[in-house]
Amino acid sequence: VAASWENSLLSGQVTGLGALTVMEAALAVQNTTGKTVSVLQPSSAEMFGRPKVSPQDENTAVAPVSPYGAAKAYAHFMARSMREVGLKVSTVIMYNHESPRRPIDYVSRKIAMAAARIGRDGAGVVELGNLDAQRDWGWAPDYVDAMIRALRFPVPDDYIVATGVAHSVKDFVAAAFSRVGITDWENYVVINPEFVRPVDPTNFVGNAIKAKEILGWRPTLDFNGLVDKMVEFELNAL
């Protein structure tokens, strides 16, 4: 999201038009071979911008406030449009999903790495932005499970994939540092205005009841569990 503000054109080309390119290719193969092609569009809660309702569901108004969110919205609506011409394309509207595979410039991985390093060395700091920003954080492997279920389900549709519980960046920091035995985490955090997003959405909490009822999906790991796994990975790496 942050990078999309630095290059909004690229965000639109990759996240928006790139997705449409895949859908059009799938439709062409389907029309040529006569065989059904299933497509999964990974949509994003960033499409909701600053939602007026919480939790959000599949009928919440799409009103993005970032270039990334706008590009995701375009791809999401094109997925719906492609269904009208016979493409079996489903969307999963995913909230924040984390794992040790995150790049190091993502706040979740950044915090986990810092907690492990500081826990080992007993010193150091981590620079962060808005600690009060809240997200509905889930375990990435659970979200991949939801994507596979949506892709394999006979009828294409849209599904919210979320835990239904919001936590702040501050909560993530506290949980990560607690994993290495540090309770006074405030002494190791520096607020850097450069890491504060120009527009930071609030009230991001998803209602995944549809995915649970239709796809039989359930998250297997809670917030503290995913933070523990991420910090444990970094400790082992050190």
Distance CA(34)–CA(17), nearest Å, equals 25
Is 46 in the active site? yes
- Structural tokens at position 154: 């006979």
Of the candidates 53, 62, 65, the one whose C-alpha atom is nearest the C-alpha of residue 204 is 53
Quick one: the chain helix, strand, coil %, rounded to 5?
50, 15, 35
Phi-psi region of 75 (alpha: psi -120 to 50; beta: other; left: phi over 0): alpha
Asked if 160 and 143 count as a contact pair (C-beta separation under 8 A), the reply is: no
Catalytic one of 46, 108, 159, 234: 46
Using N-to-C axis directions, what is the helix angle for 107-121 and 223-237, rounded to 10°? 60
Catalytic one of 66, 68, 74, 143: 68
Catalytic one of 4, 11, 43, 44: 44
Asked if 36 and 138 count as a contact pair (C-beta separation under 8 A), the reply is: no
CA distances (Å), 202 to each of 19, 55, 64, 71, in order?
26, 11, 12, 19
Is 234 in the active site? no
Distance CA(62)–CA(65), nearest Å, equals 10
Q: List active site positions.
A: 44, 46, 68
